[in-house]
Amino acid sequence: MARVVMSFALDSQKDKRILHYLEGLPGGEKSKAIREALHAHVGGGGITLGDVYQAVKDLERKIGSELALTQAGSVEAGFHEPDDEPPDVAAQLNGLGL
Partner 1 sequence: MNVGMDVGYSATKAVAGPERLVTFPSVVGTPDRSRFVVGGEDGHIVLDLPGDGTWLVGEGAVTQSRFVDRREDRGWIAGDAYRRLMLAGFTQLTTATSCDLVVVTGLPVAFYSADKDALRDRFLGQHRVTREGRRAQLFQVTDCRVIPQPFGALLAEALNNHGKIVNHDLATGSVGVIDIGGKTTNLLSVNRLAEIGRETASVNLGAWDVARAVRDHLADRCPSLELRDHQVIDAVVKRAVKYFGAPVDLGAVIDATIEPMADQAIAQATQLWNGAAGLDAIIVAGGGALLLGPYLRQAFPHVRVVDNPVFANALGYWRFAQRLG
Handedness of CA 69, 71, 74, 78 (dihedral sign): negative
Tell me the closest approach of the beta carbon of residue 4 to partner 1, in angstroms: 5
Tell me the closest approach of the beta carbon of residue 17 to partner 1, in angstroms: 25
The amino acid occupying position 2 is A
Shorter beta-carbon distance to partner 1: residue 11 or 88: 88
Side-chain half-sphere exposure of 37, counting CA atoms within 13 A: 9
Asked whether the beta carbons of 79 and 65 are under 8 A apart, the reply is yes
Tell me the closest approach of the beta carbon of residue 22 to partner 1, in angstroms: 18
Residues that bind partner 1 (CB under 8 A): 1-7, 50-51, 53-54, 57-58, 61, 76, 78-80, 82-86, 88-90, 92-94, 96-98
